[in-house]
Structure 1
Amino acid sequence: MAITIVDVALKAGVSPSTVSRVISNDSRISQKTSKKVRKIMEELGYHPNMMAKSLVTKTTHNLGIILPRPAEELFRNQFFSEIIRGIVTKAASSGYDVLMTTGINADEEEAAVRRLVQGRVVDGIIMLSSRQDEHIISFLKDRNFPFVLVGRSEHHADIISVDNDNVAAAYDVTKKLLEQGHERIAFMSGPANLTVSKDRFSGYHKALLEAGFPLRNEYICEAGFTAESASQAAMDLMNLKNRPTAIITIDDVIAFGVIRTLWNNGMLVPEQCSVVGFNNTIMSEMCLPPIASVDIGIYQMGISAAHTLISTIKGEGYGQARIIVPHQLIWRESVSVPDASNVKTTG
């Protein structure tokens, strides 16, 4: 015979409603009682029927994650695996499971979100990127469905988001390179339709203007979030007559691609060109030379996104619409003071 919630309650010496509250992680139940009930559940081999529970409570205890497109590039980038680790860690400790979905284009992505929301498959959604085209945000807002954006929305200032100050982060990197004597600094962006690309470019531009250096279009280029996509962009920069002495890349993966390309073409980092990345992933430490990077607290962003969404689902509210996770510059051997004797021009 299957073990029921009544069996657990009898052995634990509590009411069935108390057992139900323990299963739901109700804050009104003391830690001592919760620990006791869970121990009895384990001893008896009791597993809650979450499907039946969701029919009663009209909750699923599932969180949805909308992965950015294209999905085939997603797990090649440690940013996403690390932020998902933070989300899953917080979700699991709060009694939630996580579902992930995406699409190969905007229409498929929107259809996936509609299935999650209209089918009541999840209680809330975390979006892992922000683009100029924000149909999904409008869809979720219109239905008053709980969601959190990782990033900054250009058109919806009132939504809850978890982000860095990407303008300040790129400004700080550029300013530090300028202070080290670099005057020809290139910026290698991610896809132009991403808000993070625009914000980091703004910070780079601001630092140059303050230092009295003009923005040079030939030093601005775009790459995807793969090492391969950085290769041609890196060569275009290094083939310039007055090539840059430093390159700021929007991601450690791109920085790695730049360093590998320069190395394969007989150019040394940082002797002939300094390279800086973003995200401070494990790759930045393992690369030769180790990559100077901006630590944006990826894991903490995941924790914060899940915590904020769960609080919103529970109706506990949240004091601020935009949560900013601090950044930190991690200077490593991929950056050095520029040596004029090694910075040659090409005809």
Structure 2
Amino acid sequence: MEEEALRIEPKNTTLSTIAELAGVSKSTVSRVLSDHPRISQKTKDKIYQIIKELGYHPNEVARSLANKSTKTIGIVMPIQNAEAFYAGSFFQESLRGICTIASESGYDILISTNKVSEVDAIGRYINGKKVDGIILMRSKVKDEGIEYLRKTHFPYVLIGSYEDETGVYSVDNDNFQASKDLTSYLIANGKRRIGFIGGTTKSVVTVNRLNGYKKALKEHQLPINEAFILTDSLYTENSICLKSMFSSQDKPDALIVLDDQVGGFVIEQLSGMGIQVPRDVRIAGFNNSSYFVNASLCISSIEIHAEEIGSRACQMLIDVMNNKQVEHKVIVDHKLVKRDFPQP
């Protein structure tokens, strides 16, 4: 099948071509692309795979169907740790911003929930002609989803940043500068052994915040202790690493955490070790969620204005879909929320 498909030029591909390779009727292919409920998932997967092997652009497939707007915007979630992402304050607040603008503009929202790859989720949106445009909620280093969308020329906006931003419409904070500001604040308040606990370094936001943290340490002529940096680990593994980190005499006096969920995990684990926040170690993080506002914990945080990020991303996408001239990159200002260090 693959060898046969590769001999066909994508520009000459039609629904009849796809139907012949799949051994089904042209009408079946059409129903698959419109996500007809009576077509089996096995048949859908087979046809989607053929389209992928042909290198047939989904927007060309869509044009072979009735040229009608769906008035729907698709949201693609990060597949890895999707449940935690759903529960996080960033997703909830940015989604609120997206929904507000979408509703005002007469659009519905469709969120990917299947545990398939992000590329497959994008392909199903486009091949099924389910949406007029897509919002990506987070980017990865060497993101296959972005590269797929670039090739198809389908309207999309990224919430986040990408290493090669040529032609990419995106809305984000300056995460490098935000992390640098937060680290510098801790240093200004006498902290010298500052750790960083983040997510996967396949995530652009983690990389940018980690680099901002390191830059602040260098500018203040403080050493970068790799034993104080935890990334790319499951929570269970981080628990072991935290115990090791705080069992040594040279333990951190402050920690920067990627978000409120990581912060909650860290505080819970430290409490189990008899380490109190903020008495024994300071915590600082991002998102400024209600969890971080807890006065007894005195957690300083970066307010990233997630709702504004969502609303501006949605408006940008609507403008792109309507062929309006818009800036490719929008940076939403962050704010350092300082919470006083307790008096001795």
TM bracket, shorter-chain basis: 0.7 to 0.9
The answer for unaligned runs of 5 or more in structure 1 is 1-54, 340-347
Aligned residue in 2 for 1:92: 103
Displacement of 1:148 after TM fit? 0.3
Structure 2 CA distance for aligned equivalents of residues 298 and 224 of structure 1: 26
SS in 2 for 1:285: coil
Q: CA deviation at 1:237?
A: 2.3
Q: 2:292 is paired with a residue of what secondary structure?
A: helix
Contact 1:73 1:225 in 2 (8 A): no
Instruction: Decide which of 72, 75, 79 is 2:83's aligned counterpart.
Output: 72
Deviation at 1:234, TM superposition (A): 3.1
Across the aligned residues of Structure 1 and Structure 2, the Cα RMSD in angstroms comes to 2.2
- The alpha-carbon deviation at position 56 of structure 1 amounts to 7.5
For residue 241 of structure 1, what is the aligned residue in structure 2? 249
TM-score, with length taken from structure 2: 0.76
Match among 291, 309, 315 for residue 317 of structure 2: 309
Mapped pair 1:164 → 2:173 = yes
Instruction: Report the equivalent of 1:101.
Output: 112
Alignment partner of 1:206 is 2:215: yes
Distance 2:278 2:232 in 1: 21
CA distance in 2 between counterparts of 1:247 and 1:76 reads 23
Q: Does the 8 A contact of 1:230 with 1:254 survive in 2?
A: no
What stretches of structure 2 of length at least 5 have no aligned partner?
1-64
Deviations 1:88-137 (A, max 9, x none): 111011100000115535xx321221111122210100000110131111
Larger radius of gyration: 1
For the residue of structure 2 that corresponds to 1:323, the secondary structure is strand
The TM-score, its normalising length taken from structure 1, stands at: 0.75
Which residue of the partner structure matches residue 326 of structure 1?
333
Deviation at 1:232, TM superposition (A): 3.7
3-state SS, counterpart of residue 218 of structure 2: helix
Residue from 297, 307, 320 that aligns with 1:289:
297
Match of 1:154 in 2: 163
Kindly indicate whether residue 279 of structure 2 is the aligned counterpart of residue 261 of structure 1: no
After the TM superposition, which residues 1-347 of structure 1 pair with which residues of structure 2 at under 5 Å, given as runs? 58-70=68-80, 71-104=82-115, 108-222=117-231, 231-286=239-294, 288-318=296-326, 320-332=327-339, 335=341
What letter matches 1:158 in structure 2?
Answer: G
Aligned to 2:54: none
Counterpart residue identity of residue 323, structure 1:
V
Measured in 2, the distance between the counterparts of 1:233 and 1:99 equals 39
Name the SS of the counterpart of 1:125 in structure 2: strand
Q: Deviations over 1:156-209 (max 9, x none)?
A: 333110000000000001111111111111011111110001000110111111
Question: Which whole-Å CA distance do the structure 2 matches of 1:72 and 1:247 have between them?
Answer: 25
For 1:161 and 1:231, the matched residues in 2 are separated by: 35
Q: Once the two structures are superposed, what CA deviation does each residue of 1:36-57 show, in whole Å capped at 9, x if it has no partner?
A: xxxxxxxxxxxxxxxxxxx986
Kept in 1: contact 2:198–2:262 (CA 8 A): no
Query: What is the aligned residue count?
Result: 279
Asked whether the equivalents of residues 225 and 251 of structure 1 are also in contact (C-alpha less than 8 Å), the reply is: no
